[in-house]
Amino acid sequence: MIVVTGAAGFIGSYVVGKLNREGFKDIVLVDKYDDPLKFQNYQTKTYSEMVDRDNFFDWLAVNEKLVQMIIHLGARTDTVGQEPEIYQQLNLKYSQKIWKACIQYGLPLIYASSASTYGEGELGFDDDHALIPRLKPLNLYAQSKHDFDCWALKQKDQPFFWTGLKFFNVFGPNEYHKDRMSSVIFQAYNTVFQTGKMDLFRSHRPDFKDGEQSRDFIYVEDVAKVILFFMNHRTNSGVYNVGTGESRSYLSLTKAVFKSMNKVENIGFVDTPADLLGKYQYYTCANIQKLISIGYSEPFLSLEDGIEDYVKNYLMPGSRY
């Protein structure tokens, strides 16, 4: 039995679907099932049980002998939220309880960290454990993820295997409920479909031209493959970057969306919203050498190939994975 937290959300529900495809059916979905927009993310999945996140630890105390692994993907993911106690409760304290439960019951743990913890990238994007405590996140979400990474690395008592995965900019099916927090690919598709054009944020830094802000964009299928790798690997505990190792501009991304939709490019620029100024990463690029060094050898989809698959096989037909 595999437990997946955040199972109704974007990455969590996709991972459940990926597990189903790989033959795993005995899966426990843990989440807060109060968002009707997430219903389609899990309604077609095969699983053993749904557990409310508030009841999870009581459930685990009764069923721990049946559980083989916890994949902890649940979190408050809003990057512009202004309620620190919510991030501390859901992203830090809840994760600490899962960590301690994995020690108590002898369970391996895979958990989601975030590349947002790297802040402006002034120290680079290297997953060296010695570097992590020095990072300077830009928002409450990133800070809560960073706080847990730092806490985990300090613990003398650890699960017999654990890994924290610093996901870079993930896009793909099942993010339909995320609204403003959805990927630029999803937002661009919908905007182009409705209006025939797409506006990107202007640069507010002299070292970046408009549209040349760039991120390491990774397709959710590749994220799921990395998680399955660690499910089977179960050695070399630690924090790992999960990105492609290549940074691509928002302009290139938007052009690829237009091409996948067979639309003529019509791209403009608008000022970055005030609530994002000072909290916006202009550049990210994962150093993935540590992941490769422990045996991960699957090639990552290019940005163009990932967008084409997403647009043509999911967004245009309105499909869920």
Residues with a catalytic annotation lie at 141, 178
Beta strands (DSSP E) in 81-225 are 109-114, 162-167, 169-171, 198-201, 214-215, 217-219
CA distance 185 to 176: 11
Q: DSSP string of 276-306?
A: TTTS--SB-----HHHHHTT--PPPPPHHHH
> What are the tokens at 46?
């095969």
Establish how many alpha carbons lie within 13 A of residue 266's alpha carbon, considering only the half-sphere containing its beta carbon.
13
- Cα-based torsion angle of the residue sequence 205, 172, 248, 295 in order, rounded to the nearest 10 degrees: 120
- Beta carbons within 10 angstroms of residue 195's beta carbon: 10
Beta strands (DSSP E) in 153-255 are 162-167, 169-171, 198-201, 214-215, 217-219, 238-242, 248-249
On the 0-12 / 13-18 / 19+ scale of CB atoms within 10 A, 318 is exposed
Query: What is the H or E stretch that residue 14 is in?
Result: helix 10-21
